[in-house]
Amino acid sequence: MVDPIAPAARTLFGPRGATLAGDHGPLFVADTGHHRLLIWNERPARDETPADFVIGQPDFASEGRNAHGLVGAATLNVPTGVAASDGVLAVADAWNHRILIWHGYPTRSNQPADVVLGQADFESGAPNRGHDTPSAETLNWCYGVAICDGALYVADTGNRRVLKWNRIPDANGTPADAVLGQRDFETRDENGGRPADAAGMRWPHGVTVDHDRLFVADAGNNRIMVWTAPPLCNGDPCAFVIGQRDAAGVDHNQAAYYPTASSLNMPYGVGIVGSKLLAADTANCRLVGYDLAALGMTAEAQGLAGQASFEDKGENRWGMPRRDSLCWPYGVSVCGTTVVVADSGNNRVLIWEASP
């Protein structure tokens, strides 16, 4: 019997990030459990289409952290987030505590990255470069990455902060320009060292931007943080949160077992599709959509996928996987009206056309 998640050109093991660059591709998938990035030159038109090439492993049949070798410009150790825009590809190489950047989409297997962030060089992989405290140049368990309006955002999860580079860096180890979640670049306290509020973070993961509005999926506090204008200073608080009754709330599903249209349970991914904010409500195994024009502290979702109602939860609706079910969806990205979901618990990526 063939192992369905054994590494091959058409299999995935716990993918946590995926993105489509343009209507026709390419498609990039962070195949997290196999420690590799799979690339399809064109958007797949049928199920189980094999990838065209791989980065992070010597071939499609291999797996292992850093390909069972040393850290390098084309190795990966638990890759998670992936973003692509205007020919720039960025990958969150979480357990190497770095971001890899290609200036020009890769066109062959194991094409080395052009730039590394979080480390001084491509051969290093220690959290915060081996120091006890972070800086504007270091990363620690960075799980999410986004490219928006020419800027680079990184959810530096282990340091409980989001970093912003105002432009895509072209030199190794470039320091970030701004930080949210902490008062400065040298602090890494949970929730900024305070009880949960509008400024601190516990487990930031997904980031997206809609014009001047910034959205951060703070999975550890079971909420989405919303800035309605560009933050002006490091550590600026958000305007409001979604998923909790107030900025002090932290409980799964607002301390209830079952979800509602206004609660969240470990949301890891966020994206903008048309006039809606889309969230991967990971532990509730669903996608929820909010009207961007009606967002506020008490916002309720109007759109739903993966469950029969807003009050339902459960992996694949407590059944076997289906085309309309989800099991721990981690990553969500949007290209036009196309939504790409890393359905991690089902070891697959789903490509959906969003409803108007």
- One-letter amino acid at 2 equals V
Per-residue confidence (pLDDT) for residue 355, from 0 to 100: 74
Q: What is the mean pLDDT of residues 228-234?
A: 94
For residue range 146-185, list pLDDT tens digits in order: 999 999 999 999 999 999 999 999 999 999 999 999 999 9
For residue range 67-104, list pLDDT tens digits in order: 999 999 999 999 999 999 999 999 999 999 999 999 99
The pLDDT of residue 242 is above 60: yes
For residue range 291-300, list pLDDT tens digits in order: 999 999 889 9
Distance of CA 246 to the CA centre of its chain: 24
- State how far the Cα of 337 lies from the Cα of 335, in Å rounded to an integer: 6
The pLDDT of residue 4 is above 80: no
CB 134 within 8 Å of CB 188: yes
Per-residue confidence (pLDDT) for residue 150, from 0 to 100: 94
Q: Taking the CB of residue 111, how many other CB atoms lie within 10 A of it?
A: 17
Whether the full predicted model's pTM is greater than 0.85, yes or no, is: yes
In whole numbers, what is the pLDDT of the chain averaged over residues? 96
The pLDDT of residue 356 is above 70: no
Reported as a pLDDT band with limits 50, 70 and 90, residue 2 is low
Distance of CA 335 to the CA centre of its chain: 15
Q: Phi, psi at residue 206, to the nearest 5°?
A: -105, 145
Q: What is the mean pLDDT of residues 231-243?
A: 96
For residue range 122-155, list pLDDT tens digits in order: 999 999 999 999 999 999 999 999 999 999 999 9
Per-residue confidence (pLDDT) for residue 354, from 0 to 100: 85
CB 187 within 8 Å of CB 201: no
Per-residue confidence (pLDDT) for residue 228, from 0 to 100: 96
Residue corresponding to tokens 């590799």: 36
The pLDDT of residue 28 is above 70: yes
For residue range 179-203, list pLDDT tens digits in order: 999 999 999 999 999 999 999 999 9
